[in-house]
Amino acid sequence: MTDIQTASRPLTLALSKGRIFEETLPLLAAAGIEVSENPEKSRKLIIGTSDPNLRLIIVRASDVPTYVQYGAADLGIAGKDVLNEHQAQDPGGLYQPIDLNIARCKLCVAVRADFDYTAAVYQGARLRVATKYTQAAREHFAAKGMYVDLIKLYGSMELAPLVGLADAIVDLVSTGGTLRANNLVAVEDIMPISSRLVVNRASLKTRGAALQPLLDAFERASAAPA
């Protein structure tokens, strides 16, 4: 994309539909910014705001870092889970100035309630672990000195131990309702997760004057008591 194209367009914030969009609305509202449409209803992928200098683009949660990395979005909001996996392909990293403290959950190891995880670890069993979060899982088990076979999945990880695909899963847990409904239990916490604001490094240099008030507003809104 040419510099002329990027310099004249409004600032672009990449977001995913669902919980991140819902929990970002109050932060934008605190900055005096109203969103012109609900992406769940309108199906539009580019959404204007009451600030003529800011628009939103709606992308898959795991694609947010890619849009920001390449500068197609100046900034984005993504879970630490997603950013951690993205780091493997973009070690230079995105600038992550603010923990917005939204969409909070935990990354956990979980197994069937009838599986003795402690005994399996103690005996040095080579476990099969199904996950979308291969990077975080690899680091977690390596740090414990455990050898595991990772099986990459893209969703519904909770099913894997129920049908014999894996002994354990690494997945996000918030209320714990999904684990309970599937007769699984969390046996280890890997890390707390929340969503972060990420910023394209070139945008920060070339569009800093336009970006800074927005970063300040996000900072204030995320620090305010909920």
H-type alpha helices, the chain: 3-8, 19-30, 39-42, 64-69, 80-86, 117-122, 134-143, 177-181, 201-206, 208-223
Nearest to 167 by CA among 155, 150, 189, 190: 150
The span of 42-50, 114-122, 165-173, 202-210 binding ligand PRT (CB under 6 A) equals: 165-173
- CB 126, min distance to ligand PRT, A: 25
Residue 172 interacting with ligand PRT (CB under 6 A): yes
Task: Report how far residue 30's alpha carbon sits from residue 38's, in angstroms, rounded to the nearest whole number.
Answer: 18
Candidate list 6, 87, 101, 178; residue touching ligand PRT; CB under 6 A: 178
Which residues, in sequence order, are bridge partners of residue 171? 108
Residue 176 interacting with ligand PRT (CB under 6 A): yes
- CB 141, min distance to ligand PRT, A: 19
Cβ nearer to ligand PRT, comparing 153 with 214: 153
Residue 74 interacting with ligand PRT (CB under 6 A): no
Residue 85 interacting with ligand PRT (CB under 6 A): no
Task: Report how far residue 189's alpha carbon sits from residue 161's, in angstroms, rounded to the nearest whole number.
Answer: 18
Candidate list 27, 47, 82, 148; residue touching ligand PRT; CB under 6 A: 82
CB-count burial class (<10 Å; 0-12, 13-18, 19+) for 56: buried
Task: Report how far residue 219's alpha carbon sits from residue 226's, in angstroms, rounded to the nearest whole number.
Answer: 13
Residue numbers 192-211 binding ligand PRT by CB under 6 A: 193, 195
Stretch 15-44: interaction string toward ligand PRT, x if CB under 6 A: -x-xxx------------------------
Which residues fall within 8 angstroms of residue 62, CB to CB, at 6 or more apart? Answer: 82, 85, 86
Binding residues for ligand PRT (CB under 6 A): 16, 18-20, 60-62, 79, 81-82, 103, 105, 155, 171-178, 193, 195
